[in-house]
A and B are shown apart, each in its own frame.
Chain A
């Protein structure tokens, strides 16, 4: 009887040790599985980049040609949009790298004035602006070329 009791105690201690080891391993697993992979700062930086590029374009003023005035001219006269589109292409080709692409959409009073570029999905930035009482919105998408 004493022998059987000792055996039972040994078995119980063995089971307890296994449980403790399993809890310890579970703790290690939880410790590292709860830390997600953080690419938050990368997407924040890309957002800052997209916003900066769109704002810089909207403020572009070279040799007396102001970009926002060009948008206003495009709103009233479709022929003026051609020169504006060319300016956008030149600016973004100079600013972006070979592996980067963009899509710039300008909407004036819910009417799409321009849609330049090839990105469909990427980091999006929107900047509203007003010229002579007309509300416009510029939307820029930055992405990597496939």
Chain B
């Protein structure tokens, strides 16, 4: 009787130990699963940011505020008025574009200077010889953790000269 009771206790202890190990293995498995899930969510967030940048690159050149009316190009004479329009309709454009910086740079023919185009440079006789880039939009958050940059090439139309040049449109997304 005593021997059987002792054997029963041993078997109960064995069962408890096995159950404990099983629960431990399941707990470790769940921990690993949720860690990988979290990493996957972060990857998806990164992919969505890339998707957003890609869509922006494809669509920014078609914004009627800056695009040419007849050809697939950007009308540089609209860029400076667009900056004024941005200030007047800040809420609309920050909602539309979010935390980004959009810069258009002249590449070819190469400009004679590296100035950022402004109203002051526009009124000069040498325009657009010396101005090399336009900061079309710049809205940044209080803290910037990461900058994701995407760019493409665009055709730039200079109505003052009647010429089409090659430029680069760069969109920096603030995360």
Contacts and interface: CB of A to CB of B under 8 A. Distances in A.
Interface of B: 11, 15, 18, 22, 25-26, 29, 32-33, 36, 40, 47, 50-51, 53-54, 57-58, 61, 71-73, 107-110, 150-156, 162-169
Q: Summarize A's interface: helix, strand, loop or mixed.
A: helix
Nearest to B49: A41
Contact of A21 (B11, B25, B36, B168): B25
Give 3 closest A-B pairs by Cβ, nearest first. A52-B153, A53-B153, A56-B155
A113 B151 CA distance: 30
Given A21-B25, A41-B51, A55-B72, A48 B58 contact: yes
B150 A45 contact: yes
Interface size classification for chain A: 20 to 34
Interface of A: 6, 10, 14, 17, 21, 24-25, 28, 31-32, 35, 38, 41-42, 44-45, 48-49, 52-53, 55-57, 59-63, 90-91, 94-95
Nearest to B14: A10
B10 to A, nearest CB: 12
Given A42-B50, A55-B155, A95 B32 contact: no
Given A56-B153, A94-B108, A95-B166, 5 more contacts: A6-B11, A45-B50, A48-B54, A49-B153, A53-B166
